[in-house]
Amino acid sequence: MIIEIENKSVHASDAGQGTDSSKDTIVFLHGSGLSHIVWSLSEQFFSSKNFNVLSIDLPGHGNSEGPCLDSIEKISEWLEKVFHKLNLKNLIIVGHSQGCLEAIEYSFKYKKRLKKMVLIGGSYRMPVNKDLIDLASNGDSDAVKLMMKWSYEGSKKFIGGNPVEKIINSPRDISEILAVDLIACNNYSNGYAAAKAINCPVLLVFGELDKMVNIEAGKKFANLVKDSETHIINGCGHMIMIEKAFEMREKVLEFLKK
């Protein structure tokens, strides 16, 4: 699906089904430097379970026109423009990593569209190591390697190779997309207030081996969100929707059926 927002094209993968106003809509938000591709194992599954699905490429990412937006606040405001354009209600936002920050900031500003949220491998605050930001700003491919190492030491176990390297595969991708996203995450400061203000049911999913958002950080996040439940996936790092897609999908579906 291609729509136009502020004279720029926006790509959202809808599993080839479009949107049916009688169904709830699951909106998938990708993490830093990534694209809708990371949700490929989730889109068809949830589409077959009687949901609309929309996996959105943020501006400058995947197949959406740029430039990238440089703050979490700007992204949340942009998301409202997308949802307004598509006249979407009863939204279920599923965010991964940076997408969690975007989801909670969106919920802070625009509660009326939200039905539920699923926050995967995220927290209310996601500071980024300065070395990683510097490498990314310089377009250095070591930024991707370092990011994956901090995500999960066993990243070499991914079938078909490192999924992040397949999406972020040029110095331009690193400096003009990944770096902008990492700085936006690092600068986001409204997470505590946004998490405390959430007033819809929330499922928090964490990877046992995630080094970017470890279990202790996850527990602090869960304690802030009033109506929440937590699921920890064993033997899993940060890229949960790829590493343990089947377990994640079933747990999310169970939550959505409640």
Domain locations along the chain: 2-125+190-257
What the block records as the tokens of 139 is 């377009």
d(CA 207, CA 256): 20
pLDDT of residue 39: 95
d(CA 230, CA 254): 13
d(CA 138, CA 218): 31
Summarize the confidence of residues 22-48 as an average pLDDT: 94
Sheet with 91-96, strands from edge to edge, namely 2-5, 8-13, 52-56, 25-29, 91-96, 114-120, 202-207, 228-233
Summarize the confidence of residues 147-155 as an average pLDDT: 73
pTM of model > 0.75:
yes
- pLDDT higher than 80, residue 110: yes
- pLDDT higher than 60, residue 191: yes
Summarize the confidence of residues 207-227 as an average pLDDT: 93
d(CA 6, CA 225): 34
For the domain covering 2-125+190-257, report its CATH number. 3.40.50.1820
Distance from the Cα of residue 228 to its chain's centroid: 18
